[in-house]
Amino acid sequence: MISQSVETLDGWYALHVIYKMDWHAWNQLEQTTKKEFVKELQTVIKDWKQVEIDENGSHYLWNVTGHKGDWGIFLLRPELKDLNDAENRLTTLKIYDYLNPVHSYVSVMELGTYSGMPKTETGMKRAKAHMYPILPKDEYICFYPMNKVRAGDINWYTLPYEKRQELMKEHGMIGRKYAGKIHQYITGSIGFDDHEWGVTLLANDPLQFKKIIYEMRFSEASSVYSDFPYFIVGRSLNDDEALENYFRCQLSRVEK
């Protein structure tokens, strides 16, 4: 018997890209050349800021913590082709010769309807705020993909709709406890990437990432039916000063 699927509301397309910087080659350049390249990158980011002002997409830049990369971008655009255009523009920058993309994730902003379709004006506003968000530039970011388990008798997709609805309600109640502490964005990636969903968390206190994920592990929807392959965390680079300081830090450390 085929189990009933849940309808989703879908918004802007999403792209996460993680880059490694070739610091050795970068540090062979003259200071004036480095500044020129960074300024060119800032021009692109300025255009991205105008996209946000026009409410036609959003972005978040961060310095990746750990060995998985050096810095990352999270882009939201109305169409998949718009993501392609934004990504392709980066490849035309002079600084791109010193960047190596080591990871990417393609998805679309998604809102599940286990709790029902939004019916009130307030409900519609909340739904639109999730599907078409202007990302807050909180200090820290955590991104991770997730899958629903399909292994023998433990199979999310064979559970009755009512059971899945019950489990997602329990899961959602935990998330509500972190309102005001964490901004959470769920993106659907079935058919777009190697996993089924992407989760992006933004917060000013990174410890909240650990707290919410740990607490959610004890809900049945997570403890039994979910798999989390990896996590990538980092710190915001979302203004000119932060971006300049990031490159300046690397320069001063090497060139002393």
Q: Which residues are catalytic?
A: 144
Give the integer Cα–Cα distance in Å for 42 and 45.
Answer: 5
Give the integer Cα–Cα distance in Å for 202 and 78.
Answer: 21
Distances (CA, A) of 124 to 39, 119, 127: 40, 7, 5
Give the integer Cα–Cα distance in Å for 181 and 233.
Answer: 16
Q: Which of 21, 7, 183, 187 is nearest to 101 (CA)?
A: 21
Backbone φ and ψ for 184, nearest 5 degrees, come out as -115, 135
Give the integer Cα–Cα distance in Å for 12 and 183.
Answer: 17
Give the integer Cα–Cα distance in Å for 41 and 89.
Answer: 10
Distances (CA, A) of 78 to 84, 86, 145: 11, 12, 21
